[in-house]
Structure 1
Amino acid sequence: MAAAAAGLVAAAAALGALLMAPGLTQPHGQGPPEGSGAGPRGGAAAERRPPGRMDQALLLVRNELPAQGLRLAALSGSCHQCLYQFLAFVPPSNGSLRKPGAAAVMVDTQHPLTLLLNGSVGDRELCKIQYHFGEFGNYSLVVKTLSASTKTVSCDLVINEGPINSYLPLVFAFLVYMGILAILIVGRIFMKIDPVRNWVYKKLNPRETDHLINSVECGASANIIAIWWSHEGARSSKWGNKRKRKMGRTNTELGSPNTTDSVSSDPTLHLWSTASRQRLRSLDTFRGLSLVIMVFVNYGGGKYWFFKHESWNGLTVADLVFPWFVFIMGTSISLSLSSMLRRGSSKQKLLGKILWRSFLLILLGIIVVNPNYCLGPLSWDNLRIPGVLQRLGFTYLVVAALELLFTRAGAESGTLEMPCPALQDILPYWPQWIFILMLEVIWLCLTFLLPVPGCPRGYLGPGGIGDFGNYPNCTGGAAGYIDRLLLGEKHIYQHPSSSVIYQTTMPYDPEGILGTINTILMAFLGLQAGKIILFYKDQHKQIMSRFIIWSIVMGIISAILTKCSKEEGFIPINKNLWSISYVTTTSCFAFILLLLIYYLVDVKRLWSGAPFFYPGMNSILVYTGHEVFENYFPFKWKMQDSQSHAEHLTQNLTATTLWVIISYLLYRRRIFWKI
């Protein structure tokens, strides 16, 4: 696997060279000369990029109306029921077409825009245009009168200079990583050929190979092999004991299944290897995949909008990874606690471990991850109390304690008689389901019945300019109100994702108190996936069919709650609120993804899980490390052009790749951070 690490390094280097090549990016401010006219789209346009900011285009409004000025306003296509935002006033023409009134504005290119032009006389709507502008494009909007008698006004949008293709860096990045993957696959196939493998081993260890060959030629091969086997056997036995002791200390972080459960006291390498294979690599692969995407989007995701969290309702790539991580945490809890109980650990002792681990996670989030020590020492005045690790810690506490307290002996082995065999992985745990349903009732009551000052009861909107600006200070409804009331405005997140599109001014924390209830639900659904694995051990078809059933059930519930709509459902999908529909939708995807990884990694063994398996084995270290060292080299450096998607993507992919390599090196040395 050293080749895999070298391949990732090569991928990062090649990616940087390709993305920073001339034609894909250009230092900010080096635009085209005036009067250059319309330019071609794509790479040629990128070489003559006009001055501006990333995800913006230049719009020049020309007013040829002699009698009145124009008021230009815009509305983003991603802003639901929002007010038009004033952009500019365009003065009237002075009567000569050679000197029309003009105004230049920068417009957003991430989402389609609706432009509204009203006349200054009577505030009459003259025209409305819907258009999706391209990044760094140069456009003109010409407003003129077609007929003096009818006073018909035309609004023509002209492309002065074509936009660049801001998605080309993503294509290049994909091709680079796929090229490295293809090389590794071909190399692995060639290594299965005996002559090739022997030649490689000879090149890597020429002395040892020559010594063995010479010994065989001298006719002493039998004795030497016997001596070598005896020596290696003793060393392997010692090495096996040492490795097992280390594996006994490997991470059971967030409930990861322990690999030493089936290892007997026989200190042989064979038994250790057998125990290692019993660990479900698909779980660590799933966790690692979620973590790698999380690191990438936290580092910026190349500044692409779909790698950022949705402004309010809806779902992006960035919105998937945290619930997936919570889901697989629940799965691991089920396997881990079952394993430790089978080994004879007392529930009291396990409860103490659960409490201690939860405390450490919460403390780690508040003291280490949340504060930015680059800005100064820790200050309680504005310290954020909620956070990712805090929510993970509390969720782990509730779900693990729930599983520990209500687990039944013999349930997982199938020895209990069930009235309905099809529900044998559910019915033995009916007290847990009642507890979870009670939590959901509490969430529904608080969300829809709690009176919030100045806001309508049951409000789920973003506030700001949303809902036509009627509730500007109601961001998050009851969820935001509870956090501000119990934690204080200065101790929650100050820059929510809704602040850009919806221009909200109220602080709102996506990891707040009320949303934690549905995070517990997400982990509990992951716990259910773990129960399926335990109940149907080695029955791959049964396990996969149950995953499919659960995915379908969750999908149906999501369709009902959302009415298959982004904005018009009973409870829209919302990551900020951690709405029920958000949990059911992401868990639907989680069951499908776990099914695919389980099939490829543990059933058919077509994939080892690399490279995601390695960060999955050290998830707490990777997550904490990427947060703490975010602003340090080599994870971040001063950019030549901060307004380039290509340079941001290069930096973010390089940083993410480095953490994968670090986790691989730690795995090779059997270093796992356990809390």
Structure 2
Amino acid sequence: MIKKRIQSIDALRGICITAMIFMNNPGNSKYTSPLLLHAPWNGITLADLFFPCFIFVMGMVIPVSFGKRMAKGQTKGQLIAHLLKRSAMLFLIGLFLNAFPCFDMQHVRILGVLQRIALVYFFSGLIFLFSSTMSMFIISAAILIGYYLLLRFVPVPGYGAGVFERTGNLIQYIDLKLLKGHLYTPDWDPEGLLSTLPAIASSLLGILTGCLLVSDKKNTNKLYIMLVCSALAFISSIITQKWFPLNKNLWSSSFVLFTTGFALLLLSVCYWLADINNLATLIKPFIIFGSNAILVYTLSEMMTKILGCVKVEVSSGTLIMLKEWLFENWFAQWAGNYAGSLLYSAAYTLLWFIPMAVLYYKKIFIKI
């Protein structure tokens, strides 16, 4: 078991959460660069990269945290109980966020970001507990291939098989059958039930990387392996996207490979800086954000909803959202619409750095 804390894991997790908060909170989405918005369907943007990257990091942590627990004498039964408890908490927090502040439970969205994290954490953790390293690699490959075959060959009533468009694909069919009225939009959920399957593969590839990091290999050798695997993931993604397009909504197999390559590349940079050259101070803000990642994400999402609900009366006597008022009066008025939208995102993200820094330096880490 590795004794020294792997700071690059905290840093990468912090980069993901920082990017997710930043890109989820433009001053006005009408004045935001397409790169900072999710791709409408096929293709990939900067905004599409960080949620799967976070799931990859979550997988990386499993060998580290479970290794420590097993070293303290915890049994597999106790670890499964931990998986159940933590997954249930994450799912319920995600459900609470979806319902907040109206709590219209008849129409509440059941799935979501934290719910996907919960499901992926539980199933990938179980696989880790009962599988060897080679088995996890084979399971990951089987999931990615099997997922493609499901979407390619299982027919959808009224549409047939092999539909990779927004309407008529197998993911949509299953979600409408089981969760109609509780989706992100009336006919679609980007965190659908079936598309959680390849997200488990994203986590398993993270677990394999975590196993590498806690191994006895030299740090430089670990870095070279991660860089080679990153290149192989990118190349595999380029090849496979000819059959299964890059698509975050579908969480396509090529998307898993591309985002895994991206996560490994970012991790390699963080690992070189923090764990090989002891230059963690250069990425300290991300380490701080990563130390209470779920907490800051949850609070920031709640605040975003509050800013969208509170109304402010303007000179004309009409009511507008507080967020809209802040954007127009504090940012767009002097910086312009596009720069102002970007600055609003930056200011909102930096606002959350202050309480996270206080918690970090007081050594308060709220684990969910």
Aligned partner of residue 662 in structure 1, secondary structure: helix
Partner of 1:371: 99
Higher-Rg member (1/2): 1
TM-score by length of 1: 0.49
Partner of 2:250: 577
Partner of 1:439: 143
Partner of 1:390: 115
1:75-154 matches, within 5 Å, as none
The 1:518/1:295 distance shift into structure 2, 3 A limit, reads same
Deviation string for 1:596-649 (max 9, x for gaps)?
A: 110011111223221111110000100100111114469946133598223322
Letter of the aligned partner of 1:617 in structure 2? S
Aligned partner of residue 382 in structure 1, secondary structure: coil
Does the 8 Å contact 2:220/2:276 carry over to 1? no
Tell me which protein shows more strand as a share of its residues. Answer: 1
Q: Equivalents in 1 of 2:339, 2:134: separation in Å?
A: 52
Partner of 2:182: 491
Partner of 2:133: 429
Task: Say whether residues 1:545 and 2:238 are aligned partners.
Answer: no
The 1:301/1:587 distance shift into structure 2, 3 A limit, reads farther
Deviation string for 1:67-110 (max 9, x for gaps)?
A: xxxxxxxxxxxxxxxxxxxxxxxxxxxxxxxxxxxxxxxxxxxx
1:446-485 matches, within 5 Å, as 446-462=150-166, 473-474=167-168, 477-485=169-177
Task: Say whether residues 1:279 and 2:5 are aligned partners.
Answer: yes
Task: Say whether residues 1:628 and 2:302 are aligned partners.
Answer: yes
Q: Equivalents in 1 of 2:280, 2:135: separation in Å?
A: 38
Partner of 2:53: 324
Letter of the aligned partner of 1:371 in structure 2? A
Select between 299-308 and 389-398 the one with higher mean Cα deviation: 299-308
Matching residue within 267, 270, 277 for 1:604 = 277
Alpha-carbon distance, 1:545 to partner? 1.3
Matching residue within 261, 266, 272 for 1:588 = 261
Does the 8 Å contact 1:300/1:308 carry over to 2? no
Partner of 1:292: 18
Q: Equivalents in 2 of 1:553, 1:301: separation in Å?
A: 38
Task: Say whether residues 1:514 and 2:177 are aligned partners.
Answer: no
Q: Equivalents in 2 of 1:534, 1:301: separation in Å?
A: 41
Task: Say whether residues 1:347 and 2:38 are aligned partners.
Answer: no
Does the 8 Å contact 1:612/1:660 carry over to 2? no
TM-score by length of 2: 0.88
Matching residue within 383, 401, 410 for 2:126 = 401
Alpha-carbon distance, 1:449 to partner? 1.8
Does the 8 Å contact 1:636/1:651 carry over to 2? no
Does the 8 Å contact 2:147/2:253 carry over to 1? no
Tell me which protein shows more helix as a share of its residues. Answer: 2
Q: Equivalents in 2 of 1:629, 1:436: separation in Å?
A: 37
Deviation string for 1:192-223 (max 9, x for gaps)?
A: xxxxxxxxxxxxxxxxxxxxxxxxxxxxxxxx
Deviation string for 1:161-193 (max 9, x for gaps)?
A: xxxxxxxxxxxxxxxxxxxxxxxxxxxxxxxxx
Q: Equivalents in 2 of 1:301, 1:396: separation in Å?
A: 32
Q: Equivalents in 1 of 2:8, 2:140: separation in Å?
A: 27
Matching residue within 558, 580, 583 for 2:237 = 558
Partner of 2:64: 335
The 1:355/1:328 distance shift into structure 2, 3 A limit, reads same
Unpaired stretches in structure 2, ≥5 consecutive residues: 311-321
Q: Equivalents in 1 of 2:134, 2:278: separation in Å?
A: 35
Letter of the aligned partner of 1:596 in structure 2? V
Aligned partner of residue 379 in structure 1, secondary structure: coil
Select between 545-554 and 575-584 the one with higher mean Cα deviation: 545-554
Quote the RMSD (CA, aligned, Å).
2.1
Partner of 1:362: 91
Does the 8 Å contact 1:357/1:393 carry over to 2? yes
Q: Equivalents in 2 of 1:305, 1:549: separation in Å?
A: 30
Aligned partner of residue 49 in structure 2, secondary structure: helix
Letter of the aligned partner of 1:674 in structure 2? K
Task: Say whether residues 1:653 and 2:346 are aligned partners.
Answer: yes
State how many pairs are aligned.
345
Aligned partner of residue 366 in structure 2, secondary structure: coil
The 1:667/1:636 distance shift into structure 2, 3 A limit, reads farther
Q: Equivalents in 2 of 1:604, 1:669: separation in Å?
A: 26
Q: Equivalents in 1 of 2:240, 2:142: separation in Å?
A: 19
Q: Equivalents in 2 of 1:631, 1:349: separation in Å?
A: 37
Aligned partner of residue 365 in structure 2, secondary structure: coil
1:6-45 matches, within 5 Å, as none
Partner of 2:361: 668
Q: Equivalents in 2 of 1:313, 1:441: separation in Å?
A: 19
Matching residue within 366, 369, 380 for 2:105 = 380
Unpaired stretches in structure 1, ≥5 consecutive residues: 1-260, 263-274, 407-427, 463-472, 495-505, 563-568
The structure whose RCO (Cα within 8 Å, separation 6+) is larger is 2
Partner of 2:204: 524
Does the 8 Å contact 1:479/1:577 carry over to 2? yes
Q: Equivalents in 2 of 1:320, 1:301: separation in Å?
A: 21
Q: Equivalents in 2 of 1:326, 1:438: separation in Å?
A: 19
Q: Equivalents in 1 of 2:324, 2:356: separation in Å?
A: 22
Alpha-carbon distance, 1:441 to partner? 4.5
Q: Equivalents in 2 of 1:301, 1:577: separation in Å?
A: 28
Alpha-carbon distance, 1:544 to partner? 0.8
Alpha-carbon distance, 1:582 to partner? 0.3
Letter of the aligned partner of 1:460 in structure 2? F
Alpha-carbon distance, 1:301 to partner? 6.9
Deviation string for 1:4-35 (max 9, x for gaps)?
A: xxxxxxxxxxxxxxxxxxxxxxxxxxxxxxxx
Q: Equivalents in 2 of 1:508, 1:557: separation in Å?
A: 28
Deviation string for 1:486-511 (max 9, x for gaps)?
A: 111x11111xxxxxxxxxxx621110
Letter of the aligned partner of 2:129 in structure 1? L
Q: Equivalents in 2 of 1:621, 1:549: separation in Å?
A: 34
Alpha-carbon distance, 1:296 to partner? 0.6
Deviation string for 1:448-475 (max 9, x for gaps)?
A: 122112224111023xxxxxxxxxx43x
